[in-house]
Chain A
Amino acid sequence: MALTTQPPPVKIATPFGMAADVVIHGEERASQSYKKGAFLIDDDSGLIKENAAGYVDGGGVTRRTLGIALGDATGTTSHDVAIGYAGAYTVFEGTLTDLSAGTHTLAAGDKWQTFTVRKGTYNWYLDYNTLSANGAFIVGFKDAVGTVDGRVYFILTAACRGGMHAASGAI
């Protein structure tokens, strides 16, 4: 079953304990069409692209990220890309929904669990259907328990933070 409602984009909620958001810059890979809030990674050739696997769960180097897009792709090769760096203290805000059931109703037991981050049609979300070893560790709720497809705050677990090169370590 597909998602009943496509999620709004992921965004950075707070630079936890830091003075400012942590922004790094790269250069856009050819033919990119990602949206603001997309999870990005390098292409192992020095350029930045959307995580093409469609998953951030640490299941291999292709399923990791360096951070989220702070703007849409321009479609221009080597254009500047501003990235909200995903570090150990980066708290994101995103939608917790369920690809299998179509929706998810936020429950108290969702807090402190770790879910796979997946790509919807454009935007990324947390998939309740796949409780995961690595992915988004929920540290707070923006919406109240009982909200359908509620927004939550999360930190990416260590194994999800890294570059594309084969066998490269997590950040």
Chain B
Amino acid sequence: MPLTYQPQPLKLGTPFGLQSDLTMHGEEAAGSTYYKGALLQDNDAGLITESTSPVDGSTVADRAFGIAYAAATGTTSADVAFGYIGQYTVLEGTLSNATAGTHTLAATDKFQTYPITKATHNWYLDAAAVSADGGIIIAFKDDVGTVNGRVYFIITAAARGPIHAASGAL
């Protein structure tokens, strides 16, 4: 069953204990169509592209090291400003369920790790599949009982990294 409601985009929460957001710059890969809040990675040729869904660390392509500050321009090598995703980067996103269509936020969702999955445009945490790696929920923005509530999460180590084959996590 598809999602009943398309999620709002991911965004940076607070730079956890740091002085500021961690902004990096890259150059856009050809054919990019990602939206603001998309999870990003390199293309193994020096350019920035959207990560392969889901981001769960299962392969090097299923990782990310950035979140897009703006939608892709469609222009190859255009500047890409992105928020670097590190150990202390807290993201905000929607916890939904690709199988059931929606998910009602429950107390037991906290500190669980879910794959981060791309919907039509935006990315969300998929409660249908508890995962070894992906987004570990550290807090709720919305109340327990909220349908498709917003949560705060950190991306686990194995899901943070570039695309080069067998490259290590960050």
Q: Which A residues lie at the B interface, using CB under 8 A?
A: 16-19, 58, 88-89, 107-114, 131-134, 137, 139-140, 155, 157-160
With contacts defined as CB atoms under 8 Å apart, how many contacts are there between chain A and chain B in the complex? 78
B168 engages A16 (CB within 8 Å): no
B46 engages A89 (CB within 8 Å): no
**Does any Cβ of A come within 8 Å of B141's Cβ?**
no
**Does any Cβ of A come within 8 Å of B162's Cβ?**
yes
Contacts A88-B87, A107-B46, A157-B169 given; indicate if A114 touches B18 (C-beta within 8 A): no
A19 engages B170 (CB within 8 Å): no
Contacts A88-B86, A111-B46 given; indicate if A17 touches B168 (C-beta within 8 A): no
A112 engages B46 (CB within 8 Å): yes
* Separation of A158 and B169 alpha carbons in the complex (Å): 6
Q: Mark B13-31, 1 if CB is under 8 A from A, else 0.
A: 0010011111011110000
B46 engages A88 (CB within 8 Å): no
| 5 nearest A-B pairs in the assembled complex, by CB-CB distance | A112-B42, A134-B168, A17-B18, A157-B168, A109-B46
Contacts of B15 in A (CB 8 A): 17
Partner of A109, one of B45, B87, B166: B45
Q: Count residues of chain B with CB under 8 A from any CB of chain A.
A: 30
A89 engages B18 (CB within 8 Å): yes
B contact patch SS: loop
B22 engages A113 (CB within 8 Å): no
Closest to B18 in A: A17
Q: Mark B118-142, 1 if CB is under 8 A from A, else 0.
A: 0000000000000000000000000
B167 engages A89 (CB within 8 Å): no
* Separation of A108 and B161 alpha carbons in the complex (Å): 19
Partner of A137, one of B22, B88, B162: B162
**Does any Cβ of A come within 8 Å of B157's Cβ?**
yes
A89 engages B86 (CB within 8 Å): yes
B164 engages A114 (CB within 8 Å): yes
**17 interchain pairs, CB-CB under 8 A:** A16-B22, A17-B19, A17-B20, A17-B21, A89-B22, A89-B88, A110-B46, A111-B27, A111-B46, A112-B42, A112-B162, A112-B164, A139-B84, A157-B161, A157-B168, A157-B169, A159-B168
Closest to B43 in A: A112
A88 engages B162 (CB within 8 Å): no
Contacts of A157 in B (CB 8 A): 161, 167-170
Q: Shortest Cβ distance from B30 into chain A, in angstroms?
A: 13
Contacts A88-B170, A112-B46 given; indicate if A131 touches B164 (C-beta within 8 A): yes
Closest to A15 in B: B19
B168 engages A114 (CB within 8 Å): yes
Contacts of B87 in A (CB 8 A): 88-89
Contacts of B161 in A (CB 8 A): 157
B157 engages A158 (CB within 8 Å): yes
Closest to B48 in A: A112
Partner of A139, one of B21, B24, B167: B24
Contacts A18-B19, A89-B18, A108-B46 given; indicate if A113 touches B169 (C-beta within 8 A): no
Partner of A112, one of B26, B88, B168: B26
Partner of B162, one of A58, A107, A114, A160: A114
* Separation of A88 and B168 alpha carbons in the complex (Å): 13
Closest to A155 in B: B170
